[in-house]
Amino acid sequence: MGCIESLSYEIILQGASFKECRDFVRANCHEYLDVQPGFKIFEKPTIGVPPISIGLDGDTITFPYTKPCYGTFLLRVSNHEEAERIRVAAKAGKK
């Protein structure tokens, strides 16, 4: 997920399980949307066990990012355009 790595992100959880990421988003984000695996964030399909919860706090997106050797990270990135796109696409059930 090269484009994610080029973003300015904050790691919220590291080495977390998919369930821990989902629980954290639901408990701590102002707004969350449940999406299916393959839903694109920053143009890359999301990896995870459905439902995958994506958190939104204004323009800040909190989402899981899985790497085969390092497990799942919960990342936080601020990006107005992507946050708006996610709101529209997730509510419409798009990938």
Residues found near other proteins in the complex (CB under 8 A): 1, 17-18, 36-38, 40, 44-50, 66-72, 95
3-state secondary structure of 88: helix
* Cα distances (angstroms) measured from residue 21 to each of 1, 48, 62, 77, 80: 18, 10, 9, 15, 22
DSSP state of 51: S
In angstroms, what is the minimal distance from the CB of 54 to other proteins? 15
In the bound state with other proteins, the residue whose beta carbon lies nearer, of 17 and 28, is: 17
In the bound state with other proteins, the residue whose beta carbon lies nearer, of 36 and 78, is: 36
In the bound state with other proteins, the residue whose beta carbon lies nearer, of 1 and 76, is: 1
